[in-house]
A = this chain, B = another copy of it.
Amino acid sequence: MTVMPNWLDKRAYLTPHKEAIVLNDGSKYTFKQLQHDAKSYAAYLKRQGFNKGDHIALLSSNCYEFAVVIHAFHYIGAVAFLLNTRLTAPELLFQLKDGKVKGLIYHSKYKEVANTLSEQAHLQLITMSAPREEEITDYETEIDLDEVSHILYTSGTTGNPKGVQLTYGNHYWNASSSALNLGLHQDDRWLLSLPMFHVGGLSILYRSVIYGMPVHLHEKFDVEAIHRDIMERGVTIVSVVTLMLEQLMDRLGQEQYPNTFRCMLLGGGPAPKTLVEQCQNRKVPVFQTYGMTETASQFCTLDEDHMLAKIGSSGKPLFPGQLKVVENEDECPANTVGEIVVKGPNVTRGYWKREQANREDFQNGWFKTGDLGYLDDDGFLYVVDRRKDLIISGGENVYPAEIESVLKGHNDIQDAGVVGIQDDRWGEVPITFIVKKDQSLMEEDVINYATQQLAKYKVPKQVYFIDELPRNASRKLQRHKLLEFIKGEK
């Protein structure tokens, strides 16, 4: 058991007047202010009847209050369920029920869906803009690294979404390992425009409080605002996905970032070679990463020195982490593709209430990612296939199995297969192949149905009707064969 003081308390004690959060409109909050607001909100949660160990969900896009709520959770010792605002009510309901969530904090923008959810899942509703006066007095002064702080849902290759349990320790190890890898400068400022309900955005919040570093918090990716923050507001590190980086490079044009800008941390799939070269030409230091919810964000990072020499690689695992490429439990030789398995103090201890998945995916401390890749002669990782069939669309993970499962719920659909195709704007988008039960079924029926059930980025962009899906002897869908049906078309 490793115990340390509450992080925000400690940070507000060490550097009370340092900026914690800077918003797009220029407003700033110090760690002392953030502490006050979080302790006041924690007092409010306590008055609402919430206590240590309670499961509470948060439905909000990025904003200052999001950070306040996250730290308030720590003061009362609640477990946070951060909801993806792009999901539909049925998708959210599944998580809330599966996670035995007791209360739902919502941003006023999401009042309508919050009401629906509250009714259907019998949740206590809590507004984010609660009255904040007195600070909490009786609270968790210490943090036990072994305790679960978050349950974040992720879809998998099979069945329903699973709740990834992340501990305080997972976050701490991620933050400290990242500092050992990227270094840590007195003047660092990290720009956060990724959704905070995903681990990639959330982890920046923890780096802020653990390092004592300002976060430039953006509600969403706005290329103008982010360009300005780098050029004029002293931002030194930005976390991006490929789509964002492309827009930033277009906006940069022939200009150059200030010398103090030192890291473009690139996640969510490999970047095209031309983009990396473009960055190199403009002296923009790109650090390609590999990580997932189960590793509390980045697990591997390719450093600037190898940005071009090892193009397409995600680098090496950060200091406390171990990574192997295996085939049938044996380690593969260099340059041979196998499944990527990882181990380390920032890896989740397992999924919430998913005993079978935990038995299958975790062995002797090693977590089987399901991703395929290889290590080259120098030990650099190349990911060749993210979680078999995973589609990454605009930085969001889309799992074919989840969409198929929803489509098969339609009365007139007998079978459904989903794959990703290349897309200029989103990187990839899902398309679907349908076997009809009722011949009157039309493309728009499928789209409409999917739109009701699934987040917009998961809705298939094209629908193909076929007679039978390609399945192997054991009836497993062979998704790679689906694409052959449309090859002739293109």
A interface residue count range (under 10 / 10 to 19 / 20 to 34 / 35 or more): 20 to 34
Give every chain B residue within 8 A of A319 (Cβ-Cβ).
4, 10-11, 14, 210
Pairwise interchain contact A183-B183, C-beta atoms closer than 8 A:
yes
Pairwise interchain contact A316-B379, C-beta atoms closer than 8 A:
no
**Residue of A14, A319, A344, A379 contacting most chain B CB atoms (<10 Å):** A319
Bound CA–CA A345/B5 (angstroms): 11
CB within 8 Å for A180 and B320 given contacts A3-B365, A345-B2, A365-B3? no
Pairwise interchain contact A13-B211, C-beta atoms closer than 8 A:
no
Bound CA–CA A2/B322 (angstroms): 13
- Copy tally for this chain in the complex stands at 2
Per-residue interface assignment for chain A, residues 1 to 30, with 1 indicating a CB less than 8 Å from any chain B CB and 0 otherwise:
011110000110110000000000000000
**Residue of A4, A210, A212 contacting most chain B CB atoms (<10 Å):** A4
In the complex, whether A185 has a CB less than 8 A from a CB of chain B is yes
**Which partner residue on chain B sits nearest A365 by CB separation?**
B3
In the complex, whether A186 has a CB less than 8 A from a CB of chain B is yes
**Residue of A14, A179, A365 contacting most chain B CB atoms (<10 Å):** A14
Q: Give min CB distance, A129 to chain B, whole Å.
A: 32
Query: CB < 8 Å: which of B211, B316, B321, B322 contacts A180?
Result: B211
Give every chain B residue within 8 A of A365 (Cβ-Cβ).
3
Contact residues of A with B, CB < 8 Å?
2-5, 10-11, 13-14, 142, 169, 176, 179-180, 183-186, 210-212, 316, 319-322, 343-345, 365, 379
Identify 10 residue pairs between A and B in the complex whose beta-carbon atoms are under 8 Å apart, listed by A's number.
A2-B345, A3-B343, A4-B319, A4-B321, A4-B344, A10-B319, A13-B379, A176-B176, A180-B210, A210-B319
